[in-house]
Every structure is written in C-alpha cells, then in structure tokens.
Amino acid sequence: MKVLYSATKPTGKLTLGNYIGALQNWKKLKDEYDCYFCIANLHAHTINIDPKYILENTYEQFAWFLSCGLDSEKSCIYVQSMLPEHSEMCWLLNCNTMMGEASRMTQYKDHLAKGEKSITTALFTYPVLMAGDILLFNTNIVPVGQDQVQHVELARDIAKRFNTRFGKSVVEPNYFIPKVGAKIMGLLNPESKMGKSDDDPNNIIYLQDSEEDVARKIKRAVTDSVGIIQYDPENQPGVSNLLTIIAVMENTDIQQVVESLSGQNYGALKTRATNAINNHLRPIREKYKYYMENKDELYKLMQKGAEKAKKVASQTLKRCKDAMGLL
Ligand code: TYM
C-alpha cells in the first residue's frame, strides 16, 4: 500500500476550511493508503503562543480527527512532539535546504511583509520541519489544502537533493488537493482564505460553533449585488464559496446545487448553507463531545499512535544518518 501523510497545526480551533480542505478528504482516502495523521504541535511554537492553549488544542484536534471518522486502529494518528525523531530529522534536512528556498516560503514572507519584529528562526525553517514530517514516513502522497502545496513541493525538492547527495534514502512525495474545496474563503472577506488564526470570528465557521452560531454567521456572509445564484469565483466570490461549502457538505457537485437553487434569492442560498453545515456536522460534534469528556482515552490513543509511528520514523532516521556518515 502507498503511504499517505498529513497534519494540522494546533494554533487555533479547527475551521470548516480545515475540514473541507483536509479532514473530510483524508477520510475519503483513508482506506486506499497506509495513513499517518499527525497533530503538528512542534510547528505551533513557531509563533508566540500560550503552552496551555497548545496543550488543550492538541487534545481538541486529536478528538476532531477521531470524530470526523479517522480510525486509530487502521491509521496511525499521533502527536508530533511525542517523537524526538521529528526534531532530529529537521536538522538533517536543514543541512540540505538552501536559504533561498526557505526565504521563498509564503508564510515567512507574510510575517515579514507585516513588518513583524519578532520572527523566530523556527518560523523560517518551519517548512523544513514539515518536510521532515513527510519524509520520515516514506510518504507518497500528502493531501492538503491549496495553501500548503508550496511546502509539499519544497519537501519534494529537499528529498531529491538528499537522494542525489547521499544515495536514495527517502521517498519523494507528491501533494494532492481536493477537486472542490481546496481553498475555502472567509465569510466576510471571500477574497482570502478562511484561516484559523483570523482575528474576526465572524469570518470563520469553527467546527465547534453551535448551530445558532453557524446560522448567524452565514446570515452575515458577504454576497454581491448580482442577485443570481451561479458559480463564478472571480466575480461572485462569496456566493461561489457558499455553493462550494454546500456541495461538499451535501456530498454532491456544485452544478447540482446551482440547478436546485435556480431562480431563488440569496436568503434561500444562505438557509441551504446553514442547514447543510449543521446537518453534516451534527453527528461529528456529538462524537467530539464524547471524546473531550474522555481525555484519558484520548491520551492512551496518543501513546498507541506514537508507538506505531516511532517504528517507521526511527528506521528512516537511521537510514538517513547512515547515509550522511553520522554515528
Ligand atoms: P494547518 O493547520 O494550517 O491546516 C491544516 C490543513 O487544512 C488545510 N486548510 C484549508 N483547506 C481549504 N480551505 C481553507 N480555508 C483551509 N485552511 C486550511 C491546509 O491546507 C492543511 O492541509 N503546516 C501545516 C501542518 C503540517 C503538515 C505537515 C501538513 C505540519 N506538518 C506535513 C501536511 C504534511 C499547517 O499549518 O496546516
């Protein structure tokens, strides 16, 4: 079986964007691959963040993974910091990454462009840590949203360089993005991505929002003055975003949603979106509640996942160290 690897970073509550671009897509692929799903908590410390928040958010994201239908028996679900191999691999790969490559990564450039003074070296090398995550598990495919494609491409470039310098030691990965929903946009600002660290909660649907919150936020979602329900992301980004969300939540395609709403107004579109989201998320939220009330059970699953992950990661690390002449 080919290997699939993906992760989320516990720097905020998971959003509908994370769910559509990542989690629900992982669930669809999980039976076709040997899967590793990770809570990338080392990545979370690239910014200044409260340790208590990271810890709680790690449990939350682990609980969402399980609630969304990932199976810790079939797949390996684990927490990054429980495997020291990640940090060690990151160093080996830092020695094989060019300054120019790391400088071109959007996230670092965005922080720089905002004029932030306190950028850590970890933020700069963050994509290298991510490459390490992927390469440690001999990954063939990395399902991600659009914003992470650049990082997976870098992982591939680093893997190629490593193999060229030291002989074939790692697998060169490919990214995979969903056909629909690779970039879910903000509700109030449909020109940019719905991101979990956005300052305005009304721009975002969180998985843990109540049904009333979802209704209220969708009601306020920005549409346009065209007045026709059609899929046209360039000219009608808000409406197109809602159509995409409905299509994924109802497990159908965008054209069918458009046809079924033909001749109706934006109020009907919004009611449909609210119902689609709430109906889809209701059973998932119930499971989430159960897991969060049983954190001991979650911790046991984390330990099991880490044991499983370590077996593969430690072998890859040894292979890479041997190739680099490191005792
Ligand atoms: P993170 O936590 O920012 O996002 C997790 C996943 O959600 C996707 N995503 C979206 N997809 C569609 N629309 C959106 N609005 C949206 N927002 C987020 C992201 O593309 C991602 O797939 N660096 C990674 C975590 C990571 C990782 C890895 C991923 C660490 N190591 C190894 C893959 C492989 C991150 O910050 O994801």
> What tens digit of pLDDT does each residue of 199-218 get?
899 999 999 999 999 999 99
CA 281/CA 249 separation, integer angstroms: 8
Instruction: Give strand pairing partners of 279.
Output: none
Tell the CATH topology of 201-289: Tyrosyl-Transfer RNA Synthetase (1.10.240)
For residue 48, pLDDT over 90 is answered with no
Per-domain residue ranges of the chain: 3-181+295-323, 201-289
Residue-averaged pLDDT of the chain: 97
CA 220/CA 190 separation, integer angstroms: 12
CA 11/CA 54 separation, integer angstroms: 7
Query: Would you say 173 and 36 are in contact if contact means Cβ atoms under 8 Å apart?
Result: no
Ligand 1, from 3, 4, 5, 9: best to mutate by most atoms within 8 Å of Cβ? 9
Alpha helices in 168-253 (DSSP H): 211-220, 237-249
For residue 116, pLDDT over 90 is answered with no
For residue 64, pLDDT over 90 is answered with yes
Query: Would you say 205 and 277 are in contact if contact means Cβ atoms under 8 Å apart?
Result: yes
Mean pLDDT value of segment 313-320: 98
193 C-beta closer than 6 A to ligand 1: yes
Ligand 1, from 107, 148, 179, 198: best to mutate by most atoms within 8 Å of Cβ? 148
Question: Measured in whole angstroms, how far is the alpha carbon of residue 24 from the centre of its chain?
Answer: 10
| The predicted structure's pLDDT at residue 66 | 98
Rounded distance from Cα 197 to ligand 1 centre (Å): 12
154 C-beta closer than 6 A to ligand 1: no
Sheet of strand 174-176: strand arrangement: 76-79, 34-39, 3-8, 141-143, 174-176
CA 257/CA 295 separation, integer angstroms: 39
Rounded distance from Cα 19 to ligand 1 centre (Å): 10
Q: Which residue has the tokens 């940019």?
A: 192
Lowest model confidence (mean pLDDT) among 21-25, 107-111, 177-181, 234-238: 107-111
187: left (phi > 0), else alpha (psi -120 to 50), else beta?
alpha
Classify the C-alpha dihedral 68-70-72-78 as positive or negative: negative
> The CATH number of 3-181+295-323 is which of 3.40.50.300, 3.40.50.620, 1.10.390.10, 3.90.75.20?
3.40.50.620
The percentage of the chain sitting over the pLDDT mark of 70, rounded to a whole number, equals 100
18 C-beta closer than 6 A to ligand 1: yes
CA 223/CA 229 separation, integer angstroms: 10
CA 229/CA 256 separation, integer angstroms: 12
Hey, whose CA ends up nearest to atom 16 of ligand 1?
17
Q: Do domains 3-181+295-323 and 201-289 have the same CATH topology?
A: no
Rounded distance from Cα 6 to ligand 1 centre (Å): 8
Task: With 0.95 as the threshold, say if the pTM is over it.
Answer: yes
CA 237/CA 184 separation, integer angstroms: 10
| The predicted structure's pLDDT at residue 107 | 86
Alpha helices in the chain (DSSP H): 16-18, 24-29, 41-44, 51-67, 85-94, 99-103, 106-113, 121-136, 149-166, 211-220, 237-249, 254-260, 266-292, 295-323
155 C-beta closer than 6 A to ligand 1: no
Classify the C-alpha dihedral 219-222-226-231 as positive or negative: negative
Hey, whose CA ends up nearest to atom 37 of ligand 1?
8
